[in-house]
Amino acid sequence: MNLTEYMSGMDDSIIKSEYSELMQKSYIDYAMSVIIARALPDVRDGLKPVQRRTLYDMQQLGIHSDKPYRKSARIVGDTMGKFHPHGDASIYDALVVMAQDFKKEIPLVDGHGNFGNIEGDGAAAMRYTEARLQKITEDAFLADLDKDVVDFIPNFDETEKEPAVLPVRIPNFLINGSEGIAVGMATSTPPHNLGEIIDAEIACLDNPEITSEQLMKYVKGPDFPTGGIVTNSDELPEIYRTGQGKIKIRGKIEVEKGKNGHKNLVITEIPYPMIGANISKFLQDVAALSENKTTQDIVDISNQSSKEGIRIVIELRKDADVENFKNMLYKKTRLEDTFGVNMLAIANGRPETLGLREILEENIHFQYELQTRKYNNLLKKEQDRREIQEGLIKAVNVIDLVIEILRGSKNREMAKNCMVKGETDGINFKSRQSKAMAQQLQFTERQADAILEMRLYKLIGLELDALVKEHEDTVANIYRYEDILEEHDSMTDVIRSELLAYKKKYAVPRKTEITKAEEAVFTVKAPEERDLLCLVDRFGYAKTMDASMYEKNKEVIDQDFRFHFICKSTGKICVFTNVGNLHTIRVQDIPNGKLKDRGIPIDNISNYSSDKETVVYITSQSSLNLYRLLFVTKKAMMKVVSGGEFDVTRRMVAATSLNEGDELISVAVLTDQQTVVLQSRGGFFLRFAIEEVPEKKKGAAGVRGMKLADNDELTAVYFTGPSDKGSIEYHEKTLEINRLKIAGRDGKGTRQK
């Protein structure tokens, strides 16, 4: 074959595919694999594949409720090797969740060791923990697997068989709930009370036309293992009709008497979504309410939770409004949360969102299927047993002939053919009459095998009576099984009685309260307005203290603090920086303390960054409304701005506009100053009247106040007037600036040596 012929043959074998179509098909295959085989539960047993495989493997290993615990690592390894080749983490996580009574209404696994807690601490490594099946798991989830009630399918490598679904006898999908994220869809089903769900299923059995609203007579709402209070009961009928919606749930709060007349709010139940790390987040949020001055009622908060249950204690002041504080917790923290409901499950091989009635109907159909297969299996076994029993009874009645056949036969096959087909060739009989009787025998093959294996003690009279009694019981069982299989009402009675038995044995009182509550509304008590002294040191640490402390510590304050001024406790302070920014800080965010206290860096309570800018001036925002401010930059740009322009709500605004390379060096409140003195790095001083500086808006750049030589810039600004000092230290000499000649703005000034 030449090269042309070879290449032509290759062209015929190439399959051309559209890349987009190939990617679409591959993605759909992947998505369906995740949906069906990983993330979503089956509506029939309410289990995801990993949960189903773990429980089945535990049964296969014989780890029953009355047997010793086995290492979790053994269970995980065996499950992964036989049924679930997706990593040990997913299997152990599933095992842990099935053992946690704060996540499942009915734990399916009995865990021994550290299986985590409600506060978010994870379980110990699988090599340290042990587990076994719960009794209800054996009774209601794994029973009758030997009676061919469900289909078995090959495992991933076709070396084992696993059940396609477990023969669960209760609506587990609703009772234990389920959460999972697939590709493009997610399921979120809340847990429910076992007794209520069983009552609802029995109601469906009795009345197939029952509506979802009528079922709400039995199912009050979700029953979370953590308790709590569902507050939107009026929305539940629609949620259970559609299978979608939002359930609002609050924690439960009790009021106790504390020490010294204080009141303690004790949180004894939490919303289900708050399980785990959200408890610590809740504690932080409550502490933040006090730190940011949202409330002044909190004295102390402590988490006293233990294995016995949740107990979070918030100590309040004596005069605290308890109801208002409760509402604040509901509104400002996750003590009131929502549980998003999306009752999505695999039904008939595909994902469907189902309402309450549809879920119960699917489960009832599954129960009929289980019972039909179970009783067909039992009927077949009883019919086989009856056949053998009738053969043995018949054999006992002609036992002498049977013994004669056995003694006269040369082998087992010869004796069996005689009893089944009446063949007597080769068998030695004592008489022609015996041979004639033997030729009339018509045992079945199964009866013949049983006779040949019968022991001699069966010939005792009492044993024969027991055999007859056993036969009567077998016939009664056959009659009962046939009635169950043929009569729909009889099978319904069986399903109903089983459900009632599970309810009687395993039902527990409801934990979650269902009510219709008003939306939480609270009022923030306005803090009392008073004058405070604000102090800021040279390192940028701020604090407040009683205004009267200034007169008592005037010398120390003037010496140790760069800025100090009177402000309102309900007001703000303004921080002007060299880059032209204005940062506002709420006074209530500044800690109130004593003179010796360190305070808090203003970086921590504002958008100010000491790495990028420096403070030029700080004052009270309320005082600015009464005055004007004079701005001066290092390139001698100046302007006067009305203080009212800085009464802003934003945490940071531009206080002035700066030219490239320029920066702000002075901000001063104008009171009774008369002249301003500008000092440059080159030693030039210019004094002129403040009235020469025009008033402009805060967004303006201003006017030039002094002509500077090349590479020269302003370094200081002074004022003269009745309340300003008239001299400064310059080059180790005293310079009387109030004696400098008053010139005009925008001059060069005079050089001082």
C-alpha dist (Å) from residue 412 to 418, 421, 423, 441, 457: 10, 14, 13, 16, 20
CA gap 14, 19 in Å, rounded: 15
**Which residue, among 611, 609, 641, 638, has the nearest Cα to 624 in the 3D structure?**
641
CA gap 619, 606 in Å, rounded: 15
**What pLDDT is recorded for position 427?**
84
Concatenated DSSP letters of 399-418 = HHHHHHHHHH-SSHHHHHHH
Tokens of 593: 């303390």
Concatenated DSSP letters of 339-397 = EEEE-EEEETTEEEE--HHHHHHHHHHHHHHHHHHHHHHHHHHHHHHHHHHHHHHHHHH
Taking only the tens place, the pLDDT of each residue in 297-344 is 888 899 988 888 899 999 998 888 889 899 999 988 999 999 999 999
CA gap 46, 175 in Å, rounded: 9
With a cut of 60, say whether residue 350 has pLDDT above it: yes
CATH of domain 531-751: 2.120.10.90
CA gap 331, 333 in Å, rounded: 6
Taking only the tens place, the pLDDT of each residue in 726-743 is 788 888 888 888 888 999
| Residues 6 or more apart whose Cβ sits within 8 Å of residue 474 | 382, 385, 386, 389
Mean pLDDT of 521-525: 72
Query: Number of C-alpha atoms within 13 angstroms, CB side, residue 279?
Result: 23
Task: Specify whether 128 is catalytic.
Answer: yes
261 confidence band (pLDDT: 50, 70, 90): confident
Of all helices (H) and strands (E), which one includes residue 575?
A: strand 572-577
| Residues 6 or more apart whose Cβ sits within 8 Å of residue 605 | 542, 585, 586, 589, 590
Taking only the tens place, the pLDDT of each residue in 404-419 is 888 888 888 898 888 8
**Which residue, among 601, 566, 568, 561, has the nearest Cα to 586 in the 3D structure?**
568
Q: Which residue has the tokens 């004295």?
A: 299
**What pLDDT is recorded for position 490?**
94
Concatenated DSSP letters of 297-330 = -EEEEEE--BTTB--EEEEE-TT--HHHHHHHHH
**What pLDDT is recorded for position 221?**
94
Phi, psi for 61 (deg, rounded to 5): -80, -5
CA gap 676, 170 in Å, rounded: 89
With a cut of 80, say whether residue 471 has pLDDT above it: yes
**What pLDDT is recorded for position 169?**
95
With a cut of 80, say whether residue 188 has pLDDT above it: yes
Tokens of 601: 């860096």
**What pLDDT is recorded for position 307?**
80
**What pLDDT is recorded for position 6?**
53
Rounded to the nearest integer, the mean pLDDT of the chain is 89
Which sequence spans correspond to the domains of the chain? 47-165, 252-334, 368-506, 531-751
Taking only the tens place, the pLDDT of each residue in 668-694 is 999 888 899 999 999 999 999 999 999
Mean pLDDT of 364-374: 96
| Percentage of the residues of the chain whose pLDDT score is greater than 90 | 58
723 confidence band (pLDDT: 50, 70, 90): low
**Which residue, among 324, 244, 255, 236, has the nearest Cα to 516 in the 3D structure?**
236
Range name among 24-28, 84-88, 400-404, 520-524 with the lowest pLDDT average = 24-28
**What pLDDT is recorded for position 475?**
94
**What pLDDT is recorded for position 39?**
73
Taking only the tens place, the pLDDT of each residue in 39-83 is 789 999 999 999 999 999 999 999 999 999 999 999 999 999 999
Taking only the tens place, the pLDDT of each residue in 536-582 is 999 999 999 988 888 888 889 989 999 999 998 888 999 999 999 99
CA gap 157, 453 in Å, rounded: 41
Taking only the tens place, the pLDDT of each residue in 107-143 is 999 999 999 988 888 899 999 999 999 999 999 999 9
Q: How many CB atoms lie within 10 A of CB 617?
A: 19
Maximum mean pLDDT: which of 230-234, 467-471, 726-730: 230-234
Tokens of 122: 């994870």
Taking only the tens place, the pLDDT of each residue in 412-459 is 889 888 888 888 888 888 888 888 888 888 888 898 888 888 876 766
707 confidence band (pLDDT: 50, 70, 90): very high
27 confidence band (pLDDT: 50, 70, 90): low
359 confidence band (pLDDT: 50, 70, 90): very high
Q: How many CB atoms lie within 10 A of CB 374?
A: 20
Does 1.10.268.10 match the CATH number of domain 368-506? yes
Q: In what order do the strands lie in the sheet with 70-71?
A: 70-71, 130-133, 109-112
**What pLDDT is recorded for position 140?**
95
Range name among 178-182, 336-340, 346-350, 465-469 with the lowest pLDDT average = 178-182
Taking only the tens place, the pLDDT of each residue in 587-600 is 988 888 888 888 89
Does 3.90.199.10 match the CATH number of domain 47-165? yes
**What pLDDT is recorded for position 37?**
57
CA gap 367, 172 in Å, rounded: 12
Q: What is the largest CA-CA distance in the chain?
A: 162
What's the CATH architecture for 252-334?
2-Layer Sandwich (3.30)
Q: How many CB atoms lie within 10 A of CB 157?
A: 9
Q: How many CB atoms lie within 10 A of CB 66?
A: 8
With a cut of 70, say whether residue 749 has pLDDT above it: yes
CA gap 429, 91 in Å, rounded: 68
Say which of 128, 272, 330, 457 is annotated catalytic: 128
